[in-house]
Structure 1
Amino acid sequence: MADAVAVIFQQRRCRRRKVPIRRVFNARISSIVVRDLDFVSRYRLDRVLFQNLLETVGQTLEKTYRGGHTIPPDTQVLVGLRCLAKGAFFSEVADTHGVSRSSVCRIIHGFVDAVIYNVDNIKFPVQRDDQMSVKRGFYRKCKFPNIVGAVDGTLVPILAPTANEESFVCRKGFHAINCQAVASSDLRFIDIVAKWPGSSHDAGVFDNSVLKDYLEADLEAVLLGDSGYPLRRYLITPILHPSNENEERYNRRHKTAREVVERAFGVLKSRFR
């Protein structure tokens, strides 16, 4: 009996003793180990675009985490792209890439910030040469002159905010941001406004944008918009009730040209879930 009591006492004393836990680092995945066949399906970019992105944001992502165990920039880019492409759980992304779940949380925020501050490829064509290139693309598509872009809004779902929660509920019943974008004829975004709550009307977002002020001053730049936008000198919309063949033909060509922004939204949302 005395021996049994001594064993129990010893076990309790060991449990109370603080034994340092040794950190275990998993094997990190690298871009070179992913097959070309799987790269696009996993990360929504081919290897060439990935290398270009890595060169652009790599220096910003060079960071040493606690314990001095550095997560390489290429692994951080892979983790960030995987989260944006698949919308996967952090635990799944962590297991796939050999990092911890808390590291995934830090990486995704750092990756997005690095992209915002280093990738500057959304620019409205203000130079005449740039405008002419965009205008020629739309003219070949719909025979409309002076068109520099097609404008539309899309709803991006978000978690319910703590402040002004009701204003972010969109017409479809979920919390969202009404993101306005202008696309060129080759599906490139050339202007983005992503700060208005989901209950905002597309026309209201446009009226409060800097783009509207620019178009009012430029006499040779015109946008295409759907019937939700007001008809103006610099913003042409479809005819609601066409009464003859000419008006119907105008609406068909207008739709053909304006659908580029809807297709651009579709490509964006299908690539980055």
Structure 2
Amino acid sequence: MEQEIFSGDLRGISQQSVSLRIRMISKEICRLLPEYIQHPGLEQKRRNVRLFQAIAGFPGVAACIDCTHIKIVSPGGDNAEVFRNRKGIFSLNVQVAVGPQMEMLDIVVRHPGSAHDSVIFDRSALRVFCERGQMGGFLLGDNGYPCRPYLLTPVIHPGNVRDERYNRAHKSTRNIVERVFGVYKRRFPCLYRGLTTKLETTQAIICATATLYNLGVKCKDNFIFEDEVAENIDDDIGNINVPLDQLGLGFRNEFIQNHF
């Protein structure tokens, strides 16, 4: 955002005018988000499962999910500290589900940096979508999420060869979400540097850039394929005591025995 304001100064446009135009344009682009970021139809869901399996042999995957932090300035007010994440930085924690062609299928841009990934997921429409069986396959997530029959996570302490094969396939398949975050922030450097706008405008900018990102994927823009940089995302092991889902763990064990 500093670059845009600097450019405005060179052209004799005030910071207030630049900020106003950024907010207006971002909100207009946001209106297109449902058109460009959406869950696919039945045939595309089946195709996505095949494309995911082709990556590392992991069957039945509909999407990979993770969160990424977008740095912001303190929004001020009584609740400002909830936006400070575990690294001590003010941020929004943005949840994204991605498909096998590096497209965004779902995005949530309303939670502060202190919100954990599992909490964001449990409060999202995506969870309801999964529980209704509408995804057309599994989600893959890291250990910041509870293991559930529709959301498969890595085995923290693999005890046999099958567990190890499962973990390798899981990691190789889920790597796509890290690639998406890396390309997304490389394409829109303001997201990497951080946003200094008001919170409402910041949310609009994130939604607008996500819409433009997916438009690029749809148009096969070369930036998606050239010099990809993956975001360095940890596995969230030990960051929070995610409640154990015995049904999910039992399903995962049976799934590993049947497929790995």
Partner of residue 142 from structure 1, selected from 56, 71, 76? 56
Aligned to 1:117: 31
Given that residues 94 and 104 in structure 1 are in contact (C-alpha distance below 8 angstroms), is that contact kept between their aligned partners in structure 2?
Answer: no
Q: How far has the Cα of 1:118 moved from its partner? A: 3.0
Aligned to 1:212: 127
Given that residues 153 and 181 in structure 1 are in contact (C-alpha distance below 8 angstroms), is that contact kept between their aligned partners in structure 2?
Answer: yes
CA RMSD of aligned residues (A): 1.6
Aligned to 2:198: none
Given that residues 158 and 176 in structure 1 are in contact (C-alpha distance below 8 angstroms), is that contact kept between their aligned partners in structure 2?
Answer: yes
Given that residues 69 and 92 in structure 2 are in contact (C-alpha distance below 8 angstroms), is that contact kept between their aligned partners in structure 1?
Answer: yes
Paired AA for residue 172 in structure 2: T
Q: How far has the Cα of 1:162 moved from its partner? A: 2.0
Paired AA for residue 123 in structure 1: Q
Segments ≥4 residues shifted beyond 6 Å: none
TM-score normalised to the size of structure 2? 0.67
3-state SS of 2:139 partner: strand
Aligned to 1:41: none
Given that residues 94 and 111 in structure 2 are in contact (C-alpha distance below 8 angstroms), is that contact kept between their aligned partners in structure 1?
Answer: yes
CA-to-aligned-CA distance 1:200-249 (integer Å, 9 cap, x gap): 11001001111111111117421000011111110001110112222111
Aligned to 1:181: 96
5+ residue gaps, structure 1: 1-82
5+ residue gaps, structure 2: 190-260
3-state SS of 1:231 partner: coil
The change in CA–CA distance for 1:146 and 1:133 in structure 2 (over 3 A counts) is same
Structure 2 residue 78 is matched with structure 1 residue 157: no
3-state SS of 1:88 partner: helix
Paired AA for residue 142 in structure 2: D
Structure 2 residue 19 is matched with structure 1 residue 105: yes
Which of the two has higher C-alpha Rg? 1
Paired AA for residue 59 in structure 2: P
Question: RCO (CA 8 Å, sep 6+): is it higher in 1 or 2?
Answer: 2
How many pairs are equivalent? 185
Q: How far has the Cα of 1:91 moved from its partner? A: 2.8
Q: Separation in 2 of the partners of 1:144 and 1:114?
A: 39
Aligned to 1:265: 181
- Single out whichever of 157-166 and 190-199 deviates more from structure 2: 157-166
Q: How far has the Cα of 1:89 moved from its partner? A: 4.7
Q: Separation in 2 of the partners of 1:198 and 1:269?
A: 17
Partner of residue 85 from structure 2, selected from 166, 170, 181? 170
Given that residues 4 and 18 in structure 2 are in contact (C-alpha distance below 8 angstroms), is that contact kept between their aligned partners in structure 1?
Answer: no
Q: Separation in 1 of the partners of 2:24 and 2:12?
A: 15
TM-score normalised to the size of structure 1? 0.64
Q: Separation in 1 of the partners of 2:83 and 2:158?
A: 35
Q: Percent identity?
A: 36
Q: Separation in 1 of the partners of 2:169 and 2:32?
A: 37
1:241-252 equivalences under 5 Å are 241-252=157-168
